[in-house]
Each structure stands twice: as C-alpha cells, then as structure tokens.
Chains A and B, each alone.
Chain A
Amino acid sequence: MTHAAELPGWAALLTALFLLLGAALAFTGSVGLLRFRTFYERVHAPTLGTTLGLGCVLIASMIAFSALQSRPVLHEVLIAICVTVTTPITLMLLTRAALYRDRREGSDYVPTRAPRPNDH
C-alpha cells in the first residue's frame, strides 16, 4: 500500500464505499447460489454480482485511477459493456439447456412443452 496515501480524501472515501458495496453484493449473490433449492431459482442469484456488484467495483476502480493519474480513466467501461451484454446470453443459454435436459428426463418439476398456435 504505497499509493493509498496519495489519493485525496474524498477519492479514498468514495473508493472504499463503492468497493465494500460491490464486494458485499457479489458475496450475497454467491451465498444465494448456495442457499436456493432448485437450479431455476439458483440461476437468478449470481446476477446480483454481475450487475450491481460489478458496477460498484468498476466505479470504485474508475474513481481511484482517475484520482491517481489526475485525468479521467474510463477504460473500465469496456468490462462493464462486455459483461452486461454477455451475461444474459450465457445464462439464458444455460437455462434453456437445463430445461431441455429436464424435459428429456420427464422430470415432474418442469412443465411440459408450451402450447403452440397450431396445436389442437
């Protein structure tokens, strides 16, 4: 910790606040991964970390590096865009795969195929 003293007070305070908030949110999401009972409930929990948790940590990083280099450092936006775009895609693919597997097994937990307009 050589550079923490170089940060101005307001920047250190804001960085600490956002960092703690983001880490706590990511931790809450991961605990949800442990405590929910079925896969379809569980798949919701980590999104808390991917949206708000990641956003808070990235804001903390932006504040810290902007204050350290005394210019706006915005390259964290790249990670934010990348993760925000890809998370819904991956989780939807995963849930569709899980639903397909459960239906193939004839599990009682999932409903059967949704009715289509052509069904009689």
Chain B
Amino acid sequence: MTAALLTWAIFVAQFLLGLAMACATFRLIRGPRAQDRVLGLDTLYLNAMLLLLTFGIRSGSTLYFEAALVMALLGFVATAALAKFLMRGEVIE
C-alpha cells in the first residue's frame, strides 16, 4: 500500500518538476531581456537538480546525488559568470 503510494508520489513529483522545467525553458526562450533569460537558465538548473534527486530516490542509488551536487556547483558558476557578463561586458577582467 505505502509502496504504491510512494511510486505514485514519485510519478507526480516528476511530472510537476517537468512542468516547472517547461516554465523555465519558456522564460529562457521568450524572456524579453537578457536578464530574464539568465534567470530562466538558473531556474532550469535548479529544477533539473531536483528532478535528478527524485530519480535518485526512485532508483535507490547515490549516483544521482553526485550528479545533483555537480549541477548545483555548475549552476552557481554559470549564473554568476553570466551576471558578471551582463554587468561589465566581459567575464574575466
């Protein structure tokens, strides 16, 4: 009974996170200005990380956790570099 509940909950969570990624992708593509696109990319990174953690719970392996950790670090570096680029016109001065 509870195993079926967990399976169902994981499915619904994956569906919701997929929809959230679709929203972020929409903002990434349509965003009227560059900062909106960067914000969309940041949200996309975060939702993908949550989706990976959900995959990890589903499969019971800690491999997904390490991918999620790498994704968290990459998301930080990407957004910080893009914000720096929008501010100054170059990333490394």
Contact = CB atoms under 8 A, between A and B. Distances in A.
Does more than half of chain B's interface fall in helix, strand or loop, or is it mixed? helix
Interface residues on A, range: 35 or more
Given A82-B73, A90-B42, A49 B47 contact: yes
Contacts, number: 176
A58 B21 CA distance: 18
Interface of A: 1-5, 7, 9, 12-13, 15-17, 19-20, 22-24, 26-27, 29-31, 33-34, 39, 42-43, 46, 49-50, 53-54, 57-58, 60-61, 64-65, 68, 75-76, 78-79, 82-83, 86, 89-91, 93-94, 96-98, 100-101
B4 to A, nearest CB: 8
A25 to B, nearest CB: 9
A86 B78 CA distance: 12
B80 A93 contact: yes
Interface residues of B, number: 55
Max count, chain A CB within 10 A of own CB: residue among B17, B33, B49 = B17
Interface in B55-88: 56-58, 60, 62, 65, 68-69, 72-73, 75-76, 79-80, 82-84, 86-87
Contacts of A79: 49, 53, 65, 68-69, 72
Interface of B: 1-3, 5-10, 12-14, 16-17, 19-21, 23-24, 26-27, 33-36, 38-40, 42-43, 46-47, 49-50, 53-54, 56-58, 60, 62, 65, 68-69, 72-73, 75-76, 79-80, 82-84, 86-87
Contacts of A24: 16
B3 A4 contact: yes
Given A82-B69, A97-B83, A39 B36 contact: yes
